[in-house]
A and B are shown apart, each in its own frame.
Chain A
Amino acid sequence: MNRIEGRDKVTGRARYAYEYPADGVAYAYAVQSGVARGRIASVDALGVLAMPGVLAVLSCAEPPALSADASPELALFQTRDVAYRGQIVAGIVAETLEAARAAERELRISYEAEPHDVRLRPDHPGLYAPDKVNPNFPTDTEKGDVNAGLAAAAVSIDATYATPTQHNNPMEPHAAMAVWDAGGALTVYDSTQGASADRDMIAAALGLAPERVRVVSPHVGGGFGSKGTTRPHAILAALAARAAGRPVKVALTRQQMFDVTGYRTPTIQRLRLGADPEGRLTALVHDVIEQSSTLVEFAEQTATPSRVMYAAPALRTTHRLVRLDVPTPSWMRAPGECPGMFALESAMDELAIAAGLDPVELRVRNEPDTEPESGLPFSSRNLVGCLREGARRFGWDHRDPRPGLRQEGRWLIGTGMAASTYPARRRPSQATAATADGGFVVRIAAADIGTGARTALTRIAAQALDTSADRVRVELGDSALPTASLAGGSMGTSSWGSAVVKACEAMLKDGHSGRADTTEDVKGDTGFARHAFGAQFAEVWVDPATGEVRVPRLLGVFAVGRVIDETLARSQLIGGMTMGLGMALMEETEMDEEAGGFLNRDLAQYHVAACADVQDIDAMWIDEEDGHLNPMGAKGIGEIGIVGTAAAVANAVYHATGRRIRDLPITPAKILD
C-alpha cells in the first residue's frame, strides 16, 4: 500500500502548523540575544510600539505571566539573565511578519555583557559527573578489573575520538499558531513529535490544566528529535496571542532553529581496548566528555552502546559534563548510540588491524552470551547474522586488509565496516478502536513526522482486526485523541502499535468499540535486554591530491524484529544511513568563540548530504522473530540506520589511504593535513 497521506502531501493539501487559517491572525517574531552571557539592562520598546502594524512587544521589561514550573528554555522573558547567544529575549507581535521583522531592527536592547565560556575541552575545570545520562541511564558503570584487563592484553588500543556539534535540519521549521478561546482555553497548531507531551509541556509552562490546552499536529515535516520537546516558538505564540488578543503565528527562521531547537553535543571520547592474542577483549573502557547549557542539564548517553556491544570481562563507561554558555543540547537521531558507536566502532577497527584480524571476525569473536553490563539475556540478538549476511552481499571476503593499495585514476579505494545498535523499547500509550461508516476508526495521539506512522498503524490495526487496510481509518496528531507517547527513541510504532492492537482486540470482543492503555503491559517489559542490531559496509574513494572523499557504495543489513511495511522501513533505514554519511563527511556546527554563538546557521553553510553524495545505497534486513517485544514483534527502525555509518566510512578512509581520522567530519582539510 502507498503512504496514506502521500497524495495530500504531493498535492499540497496536507496542512502543516503554519498553514492553518484563522480570522484576525497576527504574527510574532522572536528577537534573540546578542550576547552569550550577561544581563539585559534595558529594553526600549517605545519607538517600536509606535511603528505601523506593531501590536505588542514582549520582554523581561514586563514579564508575561508564566508558571514557575516552566522549563528554563521555555520560561520566556521571565529573567534578565542571558544564558547563551541566540536565546529568545523579546517577541514582537505585528499585523504582518514583515512588520514584525521591520520592528525587530529598531528594538533597542542593552546588555551588561559578561565574559563567556563556550568551548568544550577535555581539561575543563568545570567537568563533573551528572546524576544520570539521558533519559535515565547510570552515568558510570564498572564491571571487572579494567586495569588488570588492560595490563594483561596482548594487543591494546588507546585512542581519543571527537564528534562536533551537529544540528537537526527538518524541512519544516518549528512553527505554531496559538488560538485562545473566550473561556481561556488554548489551541496550539504545532509542529511536534508528540501532541500529548507537547500539550502537557505547554500547559505546565503557562500554568494551565492540561485539559485546557489542545495541540493539533496532523502533519509534521521532520523532527529527528528537535521537535520531541516543546520549543520556545510555541510558548511565544501562546504569549503573543494572549497579549494581542488574537490568534498568532510564529515560525522560526532556519538560523533561529540552530539556536533554540537543540543540537547534538560535541563529544570527546577516549576508548581503551585490550584483547588477547585471539582478539578476545580483556577490557573495554569508554570515557566521554560532553557539554550542556547553564539552564538545563542534558547529558547525552554516549557511552551506553559500549555496555551492550561486546563481551568484555572488564568494562568501564563514564560520562563527564561541563555547563557552558551555550544553548541546551538535546536529542538528535540516535542520541548516545550515534556518536558513541563512531568511537567504539573506529576503535574496534583499530584493534582488528593491531591484532591482525578481519574486523568482521573480531566482532564475531566478541559476541556476548548476555548483555555485557547488565547480564540480562537478549530478547533477540542477531548481530552475527547481520555481519555475515552483509559481508556476503558486499563481497567482503575478497578484501585485502592492507591500506592504501587500491587505486583507480586519481582515486584511492577502500572499504570499511561497522556494527549498529539501538534499543528496542516502548512507552505507555492509549488508543481506541470503533466501528464507523462500515469500517473501523482507530484513534491515538501518535505523530507522523514523515516516517509513515499513519500508514504503519493502519496496517497494524487492519491485521489485528483481520480486515483490509482500506477499511481502517487512523486518526492521529491531536492531543484530543487518546494520550500517546512520542515519536522518539525509535519507540513510536512499538508503543502506539501495542495500544492499537490492544484496542482492536477489545473492540472485537465488545463488537462496537474498544479502549486500551498499555501502562501495565510496559511495566512488564523487564527481564530481557532488548536491542536492534545491524552491520554497515562502505566503499570509499579518496583523492589524495585534493582530499575529496566520495562514497559510491553503502550497505546496511539490520535485525529489527518484524518489519511492518517494507517501503517505509527501507526509507527509514536509508534515511538514517544518509544522515550518517553526512555526519562522516560534512556535518559540523562551528562555535564562534569570540561572539559566543553558533556560526554557520543555514543550509548553505551547514552541509547535509545532497543527492549527489548518495550513490549506491541499500538497506535490508534479516528474518528475526522476537516474542518479548510487543504484539507486532517489531523493533524500532527510525534511528539504527545512522548508528555506525560514520565509523564504517572512517574505517574505509583508513583502508583507502592509511590515514586514521579520529575527529569528524572527514573533510578535505583533514585528509590533506
Chain B
Amino acid sequence: MKPFEYTRARDAGDAVARFRAGAMYLGGGTNLVDLMRLGVAEPDHLVDVSRVGGDRIEPGGDGLLIGAGVRNSDLAAHPVVRERYPMLARAVLAGASGQVRNMATIGGNLLQRTRCPYFQDVSKPCNKRQPGSGCPAVAGDHRNLAILGHSAGLEAAAQCVATHPSDMAVALAALDAQVHVTGPDGSRVVPMPGLHRLPGDEPDRDTVLRPGDLITAVELPPPPPGRSTYRKVRERASFAFALVSLAAVLDVGRDGTVRGCRLALGGVAHTPWRAARAERALTGAPATAEEFTRAAGAELAEAQPLPRNGYKVTLARNLIVATLQELLP
C-alpha cells in the first residue's frame, strides 16, 4: 500500500478546493479502501467527504433530494423511499451486507469500481486499470462479465468487458434520477442513465465525471405510475454481486395495454443498462407474456455474449418476462 495524505473537507466547496492531481474523494471507504489495499487505487491524497453535510434526505420538487453522503442503510430505511420508491429500497437492500450498507454512501455506491477479477489484481493486465495493457477477461474468465455494450470487438488495447456492480444505480437509472455534481468548473446536473459510460476506446473512464468532480446529491423525480420491483439473480442468497438484476416498472391500463414501463438491467454492461428498446416495444402493446418475450428479445438482440457468458442472455430475457408477469395487476 502506497503512503498517502489524508484531509477532511468541511463542505463540498472545500472538498473541490482541496482536490488536486493524484487525489481521490473518500466516502464510506467500502470500495476505495479495499482497492488501496490491493494497490488498484493509489491516491497520494485522500479528501474525506463523509462530513461535508450531504447526509440528508429532503423533499425536492415533487420528488426527493438525497444527499451524496447518505448511508445506503439510511436510504433503504427512509419512510418516503419505502413508500414511494420501494424499487429503490429493494435494490439497495439487495446489495452488499448490513455492515457494508451502514458505511457505504450514495455517492460512493454510484462510483464504485467493477469487481472484474483482472481489474482487482495488479499483477495482471487490465485496460481499465492500466490503459493499453490488454484485457485477459476476453479470453479468460468472463462468466460474470458483460454481454451488452462492451468493447471486446475492438483492438486489444481498448477491450473491456467489465460490468458495473451497483444495484442501487440500476434502480436510479430506471427512475430517471438526476445526479448533482460540483467541481472545479462549477455545478451541473447529470441525468441517469448518463452518468456511467460504455467503455468504448476509453475503458479506464467509468463515468462522464471529470477530475475533481464531486457528487453532492441525487434527485429523484416523482415515481413513475405503475407497479415496480427489483429482482436480483445470484448463486448465493446474499452478499453477492448480481449475475443479472432488473429494475422494472409496469403501468397497465384498464384495456390491458401497457401505458408505460421502465426496465433497467444490472450485471450485463459497463453501465446500468436502461432497456430502452424493450420499453419502446412494450409501450402501447398488450400486457401479455408474448409481448413481454418479444420486448425482451428486442433488447437482447444486440447482446454480444462471450463464449462463457451466453447464459446471461437467456437469464436476462427470462428475468424480464418473469418480472413483468409478476407486475401484472
Contact = CB atoms under 8 A, between A and B. Distances in A.
Given A585-B235, A610-B236, A545 B319 contact: yes
A592 B3 contact: no
B139 interface: yes
A320 to B, nearest CB: 27
B130 interface: no
A586 interface: yes
Interface in B238-254: 238-241, 243-244
B2 A549 contact: no
B287 to A, nearest CB: 18
A623 interface: no
B237 A613 contact: yes
Contacts of B233: 546-548, 668
A595 interface: yes
A627 to B, nearest CB: 44
A545 B326 CA distance: 13
Most chain-A CB neighbours within 10 Å: which of B139, B140, B244?
Answer: B140
A665 B314 contact: no
A667 interface: yes
B208 interface: no
Contacts of A668: 233-235, 243, 311, 315
A28 B115 CA distance: 29
Contact of A595 (B2, B136, B311): B136
A160 interface: no
B322 A98 contact: no
A612 B238 contact: yes
A586 B315 contact: no
Interface in A194-235: none
B145 to A, nearest CB: 12
B321 A672 contact: no
A605 B116 CA distance: 9
A34 interface: yes
B124 interface: yes
B323 to A, nearest CB: 10
Interface in A622-673: 665, 667-669, 672-673
Nearest to B141: A590
B194 interface: no
B21 interface: no
Contacts of B314: 672
A607 interface: yes
B236 A102 contact: no
Contacts of A594: 136, 139-140
A669 B141 CA distance: 13
B117 interface: yes
B99 interface: no
Contacts of B2: 102, 105
A393 interface: no
Given A98-B1, A101-B1, A546-B233, A410 B240 contact: no
A586 B136 CA distance: 23
A246 interface: no
B117 A610 contact: no
A559 to B, nearest CB: 31
Contact of A599 (B117, B237, B311): B117
Contact of A586 (B236, B309, B318): B236
B205 interface: no
Given A102-B1, A605-B115, A546 B236 contact: no
A443 interface: no
> How many A residues touch the partner, as a band?
35 or more
B45 to A, nearest CB: 16
A668 B143 CA distance: 11
A550 interface: yes
Interface in B136-152: 136, 139-141, 143
Contacts of B39: 105
A332 to B, nearest CB: 19
A672 B315 CA distance: 7
Contacts of A550: 237
A593 interface: yes
A147 interface: no
A549 B235 contact: yes
A665 B234 CA distance: 13
Contacts of A612: 236-239
B65 to A, nearest CB: 32
Nearest to B309: A669
A592 B136 contact: yes
Contact of B239 (A34, A105, A547, A610): A610
A10 interface: no
Interface string A95-133: 000100110010000000000000000000000000000
A171 interface: no
Contact of A669 (B121, B311, B322): B311
Interface string B118-159: 000101100000000000100111010000000000000000
Interface string A58-83: 00000000000000000000000000
B237 A610 contact: yes
A672 to B, nearest CB: 5
B38 to A, nearest CB: 8
A588 to B, nearest CB: 10
A672 B236 contact: no
Contacts of B241: 604
Most chain-A CB neighbours within 10 Å: which of B121, B143, B241?
Answer: B121
Given A547-B315, A594-B136, A665 B1 contact: no
Given A547-B311, A592-B140, A607 B238 contact: no
Interface string A532-574: 0000000000000111111000000000000000000000000
Contact of A593 (B140, B239, B315): B140
A592 B3 CA distance: 30
B238 A592 contact: no
Contacts of A586: 235-236
B238 A610 contact: yes
Contacts of B141: 590, 592, 599-600
A546 B237 contact: no
Interface string A600-617: 110011010111110000
Interface in B63-100: none
A494 B318 CA distance: 53
A672 B244 CA distance: 13
A546 B322 contact: yes
Given A102-B2, A612-B237, A665-B235, A672 B311 contact: yes
Contacts of B237: 550, 610, 612-613
B119 to A, nearest CB: 11
B156 to A, nearest CB: 13
Contact of B322 (A545, A607, A609): A545
B300 to A, nearest CB: 14
B267 to A, nearest CB: 11
Nearest to A33: B123
Contacts of B319: 545-546
A548 B319 CA distance: 11
Given A594-B136, A668-B243, A98 B3 contact: yes
Interface string B299-329: 0000000000101001100110110000000
A545 B321 CA distance: 9
Given A102-B3, A668-B233, A545 B318 contact: yes
Contacts of A590: 117, 141
B279 to A, nearest CB: 21
B321 A607 contact: no
Given A546-B315, A590-B141, A668-B311, A607 B236 contact: yes
Interface in B218-244: 233-241, 243-244
9 contacts: A586-B235, A586-B236, A590-B117, A592-B140, A610-B240, A611-B238, A668-B235, A668-B243, A673-B311
Given A546-B244, A548-B233, A549-B235, 12 more contacts: A98-B1, A98-B3, A101-B1, A105-B39, A547-B315, A548-B235, A590-B117, A595-B123, A599-B121, A611-B238, A612-B238, A668-B311
Of all A-B residue pairs in the complex, the 6 with the closest CB atoms, nearest first, are A612-B237, A612-B238, A545-B318, A669-B311, A546-B233, A672-B311
